[in-house]
Amino acid sequence: MTAIFNTEVLVAGGGPAGLAAAIAARQCGLEVTLVDCARPPIDKACGEGIMPDGLAALAKIGVTLSAENACPFQGIRFINENCRIEADFVHGYGYGIRRIRLHQLLIDRAAELGVEMHWGVRVSGATSNGVLIDGREAACKWLVCADGQNSRLRSWLGMDTDSRVRQRFGFRRHFRVPPWADYVEIHWSTCGQIYVTPVSDQEVCVALITRDPHLRFSDSLKFFPEIEERLRGAASTTDRGAVTPTRNLRSVCRERSALIGEASGSVDAITGDGLSMSFQQAAALAEAMRDGDLRSYQKAHRRIAGLPRVMAGLMLTMDQNHRFRRRMFLAFAAEPNLFSKLLAIHTGAVSPLLVGPGHAVSLGWHLLTA
């Protein structure tokens, strides 16, 4: 079979994860071709906030966010019933940015570095040398599968067999209203969570995450009266919906193929770590391909996903168990430094090993006495 092209690295999938992988690979001196069946701008339902550790990883591939193209936020605020807890980031800011704006910044950076991009091109299968495009082979030395949570390439390559999946449902809507806080707000209720992320000085992104497959965005606002009141009368866009899965794969690479982004597994969107994880994975994968050994990427991927999985487990327990959630909020309210430490660990500013047992004992005591 005659190849339609032959490239060193073929990235299948042109979302943020795929573009980040392509950019990082070019920075390592590799020849890169990217293909995607969609055409820019590619949008998707997500919370649209990037934590400081994600921004640091993004900066390493040459994409810098600022107040000119995004909206800064200084920390995270949790709201449950009448209890509010908040903490600032230890270092720097997070940024909220429209998904399509971020996508264009990544495309521009990839083009600047010489990534060859083919949009509107559908991958129809995998071969021993690469992939099939319109029945013809595209050959490569390294195949990067960045085709999302329902990755067909992952299935074709036989890497789905050990996956464990749990899922919730997400909806996103933008509202033309000035942000009322310098924080990403996470409002908790019996039906799930609503995230409010500032994405410009005149717009917020509001995302719902729920276990209820029948609940829709408009119907959910009655469970969040404060949000409902703040958004009353504000112009809005239409909903975008998506499944937000928790998927854990035993392996993310096989021979000359590697999975990245949601194709490589995912944590629940409640962590806000999806984009940050993808950007960190991109750097690790590029270095592994440059060095000719994907085993280092497997190790790095496990390390990158480790803490977000722990944090997701804690917050999903809070979602499922109202009494536990209430006790956690009361414990954090009684000793705000605990929430600050948790956020610092979550964003990678502080190692869990440096926090010390005293904070764990203190949290346990407050949980018992709340």
Q: For 31-81, write each residue's pLDDT tens digit.
A: 999 999 999 989 988 889 999 999 999 999 999 999 999 999 999 999 999
**In contact, 284 and 260? CB cutoff 8 Å:** no
**In contact, 49 and 94? CB cutoff 8 Å:** yes
DSSP letter (8 states) at residue 143: E
Model pTM score: 0.93
Q: Quote the crossing angle between the two packed helices 274-291 and 16-27, to the nearest 10°.
A: 30
Lowest mean pLDDT among 19-23, 239-243, 297-301, 361-365: 361-365
Nearest-5° angle of CA 119, CA 124, CA 125?
125
The token duo for 149 is 């949570």
Q: What is the pLDDT of residue 44?
A: 86
Query: pLDDT tens digits for 346-357?
Result: 888 887 765 555
**In contact, 104 and 40? CB cutoff 8 Å:** yes
Q: Where are the domains of the chain?
A: 5-48+98-163+249-315, 167-243, 321-369
Q: What is the pLDDT of residue 352?
A: 75
Is the pLDDT reported for residue 360 higher than 60?
no
Lowest mean pLDDT among 62-71, 323-332, 353-362: 353-362
DSSP conformation letters of 28-65: TT--EEEEESS-SSP------EE-HHHHHHHHHTT---
Q: What is the pLDDT of residue 28?
A: 99
Lowest mean pLDDT among 169-183, 234-248, 296-310: 234-248
Q: CA distances (Å), 75 to each of 218, 261, 264, in order?
A: 27, 24, 28
Confidence of residue 3 (pLDDT cuts 50, 70, 90): low
Structural domain 167-243, CATH architecture: 2-Layer Sandwich (3.30)
Q: What is the pLDDT of residue 368?
A: 45
Confidence of residue 365 (pLDDT cuts 50, 70, 90): very low
**What average pLDDT does the structure give for the chain?**
92
CATH T-level fold of 5-48+98-163+249-315? FAD/NAD(P)-binding domain (3.50.50)
Going by their DSSP bridges, the two strands 5-12 and 32-36 should be labelled as parallel
Helix (H) / strand (E) containing 197: strand 192-200
Rounded to an integer, what distance in angstroms lies between the CA atom of residue 223 and that of residue 185?
A: 15
SS3 244: strand
* Residues contacting residue 323 through CB under 8 Å, at least 6 positions apart: none
Q: CA distances (Å), 26 to each of 110, 304, 315, in order?
A: 8, 22, 37
Is the pLDDT reported for residue 170 higher than 80?
yes
